[in-house]
Structures are given as structure tokens and as C-alpha cells.
């Protein structure tokens, strides 16, 4: 992780060193990454080495490098993440700030860098796993392939993802992330009407989520995914919130853990806390592959707070990313009815019915997240006013 001070100001050396220390510490909290220790990475400080050679010498696949420039009281830090096997740039960005509070700026830069590069690293690993021969796949590779399929949100992709995760658990029964991700896939199937999910499958998903929480006490990915499934399927929101808080203690820069914290806050009738959590997650990972997950939770939170214009705005952002996102269409239609825009609500209802012929209030209720009672009643009443039949 070679970062260089290009300001020409020796007094800023300790600032650069501090930023690098904070980034190393933050990245080291990602359990699926092997991070080279400070002393080894600092050996390249002030040099311009061939990064492919650095990769070979340190035995790493990725290198994060950067530089600092100073003008008066302002600093600009640039960073780029490079695949040492190909030389390809995976991510690059810059951060500007004032030196009024050096420690606060160090924390801010470290959080921004780690929040931004984590999804890029994961996507790069997914692509690597896709290129790997099928007979060479291990539990980690199978998990990554399943993760990519989950992002597709189709009935077929969810089935295939679960099949891969079951293979991963056959290889390593104690692999907590695979166990937890099965729960998330079942949740997606249920919430987005992506095929039938039996009571037995839900029971197994809950069992695996509990097992993942026990086995993955120090794996923040396993924790937030398991918490999500537990909250959705059992309504144990307090327990789930505690599990997510554990994940955030392990890694406060996990955008997805903040997303799930927001989801659970909605279920606990705390929409403003949900908004704050999701906004923080979006700042950490502004180009996240699960961006639509962040925007739909914002829509639900504003709907819960009775801010229907804002709910429509966030539902529209979700639909811009995924035009067939059913919950976004439902939130939008229900919000329109409470604003008196009945014709618009009916138009969105007709659009929903093109994706889900035969949809009824009963079916929406059966697949709805475990909303608080008042919120569920208001949500269903909004759809009822838009013209959705009872049965």
C-alpha cells in the first residue's frame, strides 16, 4: 500500500502515515481479505515500484496506492486500486479536506476508501471465480458465484445461487457466510415473488441463519446476512439488531451492514434512524451493486414517516435501477393514493399487474416484510385504494 507525500512538506509525512495506518486497520477488518502488515507495505514508501513486482514479492493480488498534495490548509488525497496480476485499475478516486482536525480527516479518508473499494474488490473476486474451472471451485469460489447470482434478482438465479451455496456447505459445513447467504436468498424469493418458498425451506433458512451467527461471531458478512434473514422470517428484530451492531463493531465501514441496520430500524418503527443508517451506508459505497436495496429502504422509511412525496422519489430511484422492482412499484402506488393522486396510483397498479398477474391484497400481505402492524395496515390500505382486489 504505497502512499506518497507529494506536497514537499515534511510535516505532512505523519499525516500520510496516519492515513495509511487507518486504512490498513480498516481493511484488516474484512475477514475475507489477507492484508499485508504495515512494515512490509511501508518498505515501498517514497518509491515508484512496478506493482506487478510488488504483487509477486508480497504475495498479494491487489495493491492500493495513492498520493497527497497540500495547498495552504487544504489537502487532496488520490487513491487507486490495482490488480497486480493484470495491471488493471479496479478503482480510483480522490478526497479533499481541511487540516483543521487531522485525526478526523484521517478517519474520514480511511472510511471513504474502504467503503468504496470493498464492493470493487468483491466484484473483482467474483469475476476471478467465474473464470476458474468448475472442477477447481472451493467453498469461497462457490460463495462468490452465488453472491453474483443473488444480485440478479431472478427466480432462476436465486435457485442456482442456493444450489451453489449448498455445494459450498457440503465442502465446508462450518462456512458461515454460505449458510447466512442461503437465508438472504430465501428472503429474496419470498419478498420479491421469485418462486415458491415452502415452510420447510424457511425453517431451514432460519436454522442456517442461527448457525451462521454462532459459527461466524467474527465474520461481519455472515452476521449481517443472518440478521437480515432472522428479522424477516421470525420478527426477532431486537436480536437481529444486536447481531448487526456486532457486525458494525467488527467493521464500521460495512455499507451492507448499515443497509440491514436501516431495514431493521424500519421494522422497529424508527424510520428516521433507518434513513440515517442507510444514508451512511450510501456514503460509504456510492456505486454499490446493491444500490437498489438502499433506495428501496429509503422509500419504505419515508412512507413509514408519512412523507409520501419523498417515498415516491426514492421508489423512482429504485425503479430507475431495476424497472421490475415490485416492492418499489407497490410503495409508489400506495404513496400516490395518500397524496390523492388516484389515477397515477391506478396506472402503477396496472404496471404491477403486468409483472404479477393475479396479484391481490392477500398475496401482498403474505409476501410483505414483517412491517409493524400500523405500517402494514397503511401499506395495504394504500394498495386497496389504488384498486388492488382483496382475493
Q: What is the CA radius of gyration of the chain?
A: 23
Please report the pLDDT score of residue 33 as a whole number.
66
For residues 198 and 269, membership in a common domain is answered with no
Domain at 23, CATH number: 3.40.50.10610
Residue 7: pLDDT over 50: no
Q: What total number of domains does the chain contain? A: 3
Residue 126 lies in a domain: no
Phi-psi region of 244 (alpha: psi -120 to 50; beta: other; left: phi over 0): alpha
Q: Has residue 132 got a pLDDT over 80?
A: no
CATH number of the domain enclosing 244: 1.25.40.10
For the chain, what percent of residues have pLDDT higher than 70? 89
Q: Of 114-128, 256-270, 277-291, 358-372, where does the model show the most confidence?
A: 256-270
Residue 283 lies in a domain: yes
- Lookup: cell for 250: 467488527
- Whether residue 382 lies inside any domain: the answer is yes
Does residue 372 sit within a domain? yes
Q: Residue 205 falls within a domain, yes or no?
A: yes
Regarding whether 97 and 29 lie in a shared domain, the answer is: yes
pLDDT digits (tens, 9 = 90+) for 316-365: 999 999 998 999 999 999 999 999 999 999 999 999 999 889 999 999 99
pTM score of the predicted model: 0.77
Residues 258 and 388 in one domain: yes
Residues 137 and 237 in one domain: yes
Residue 17 banded pLDDT, cuts 50, 70, 90: low
Residue 232 lies in domain:
132-250
* 286/389 same-domain check: yes
Q: Are residues 263 and 381 in the same domain?
A: yes
Q: Residue 322: enclosing H or E segment and its boundaries?
A: none
Q: Mean pLDDT throughout 34-61?
A: 72
Q: Vertex 365, ends 359 and 367: CA angle to 5°?
A: 80
| Percentage of residues of the chain with pLDDT beyond 90 | 52
**383 part of a folded domain:** yes
Give the chain's mean pLDDT: 86
Domain boundary pick from 56, 90, 117: 117
Domain boundary among 250, 268, 293: 250
Mean local confidence (pLDDT), 53-60:
80
| Pair (9, 103) in one structural domain | yes
Residue after which a domain boundary falls, among 66, 91, 117 = 117
Q: Checking phi first, is residue 306 left (phi over 0); if not, alpha (psi -120 to 50) or beta?
A: left
Asked whether 116 and 284 are in contact (CB, 8 A), the reply is yes
Distance CA 21, CA 328 (A): 41
Quickly state the pLDDT bin for 31 (edges 50, 70, 90): low
Amino acid at each position: 500500500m504505497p502512499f506518497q507525500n507529494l506536497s514537499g512538506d515534511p510535516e505532512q509525512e505523519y499525516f500520510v502515515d496516519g492515513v495509511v495506518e487507518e486504512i490498513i486497520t480498516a481493511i484488516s477488518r474484512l475477514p475475507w481479505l489477507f492484508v499485508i502488515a504495515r512494515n512490509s507495505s511501508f518498505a515501498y514508501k517514497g518509491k515508484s515500484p512496478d506493482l506487478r513486482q510488488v504483487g509477486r514479492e508480497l504475495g498479494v493480488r491487489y495493491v492500493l496506492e495513492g498520493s497527497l498534495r497540500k495547498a495552504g490548509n487544504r489537502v487532496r488525497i488520490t487513491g487507486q486500486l490495482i490488480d497486480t496480476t493484470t495491471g488493471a485499475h479496479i478503482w480510483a478516486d480522490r478526497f479533499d479536506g481541511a487540516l483543521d482536525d487531522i485525526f478526523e480527516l484521517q478517519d474520514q479518508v480511511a472510511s471513504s476508501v474502504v467503503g468504496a473499494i470493498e464492493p470493487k474488490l468483491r466484484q473483482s473476486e467474483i469475476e476471478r471465480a467465474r473464470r476458474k474451472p468448475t472442477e477447481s471451485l472451493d467453498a469461497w469460489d462457490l460463495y462468490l458465484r452465488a453472491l453474483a447470482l443473488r444480485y440478479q434478482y431472478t427466480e432462476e438465479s436465486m435457485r442456482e445461487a442456493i444450489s451453489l451455496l449448498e455445494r459450498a456447505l457440503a465442502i465446508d459445513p462450518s462456512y458461515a457466510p454460505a449458510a447466512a447467504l442461503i437465508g438472504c436468498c430465501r428472503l429474496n424469493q419470498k419478498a420479491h415473488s421469485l418462486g415458491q418458498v415452502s415452510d420447510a425451506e424457511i425453517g431451514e433458512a432460519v436454522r442456517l441463519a442461527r448457525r451462521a451467527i454462532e459459527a461466524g461471531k467474527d465474520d461481519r458478512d455472515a452476521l449481517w446476512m443472518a440478521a437480515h434473514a432472522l428479522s424477516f422470517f421470525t420478527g426477532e428484530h431486537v436480536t437481529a439488531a444486536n447481531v448487526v451492531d456486532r457486525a458494525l463493531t467488527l467493521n464500521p465501514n460495512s455499507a451492507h451492514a448499515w443497509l440491514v441496520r436501516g431495514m431493521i430500524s424500519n421494522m422497529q418503527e424508527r424510520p428516521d434512524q433507518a434513513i440515517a443508517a442507510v444514508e451512511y451506508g450510501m456514503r460509504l459505497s456510492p456505486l454499490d451493486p446493491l444500490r437498489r436495496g438502499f433506495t428501496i429502504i429509503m422509500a419504505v422509511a419515508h412512507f413509514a414517516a408519512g412523507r409520501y412525496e419523498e417515498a415516491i422519489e426514492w421508489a423512482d430511484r429504485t425503479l430507475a435501477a431495476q424497472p421490475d422492482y415490485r416492492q418499489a412499484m407497490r410503495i409508489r402506488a400506495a404513496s400516490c393514493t395518500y397524496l390523492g393522486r388516484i389515477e397515477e396510483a391506478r396506472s402503477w397498479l396496472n404496471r404491477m399487474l403486468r409483472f404479477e398477474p393475479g396479484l391481490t391484497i392477500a398475496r401482498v400481505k403474505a409476501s410483505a416484510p414483517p412491517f409493524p402492524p400500523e405500517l402494514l395496515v397503511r401499506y395495504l390500505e394504500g394498495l386497496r385504494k389504488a384498486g388492488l382486489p382483496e382475493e
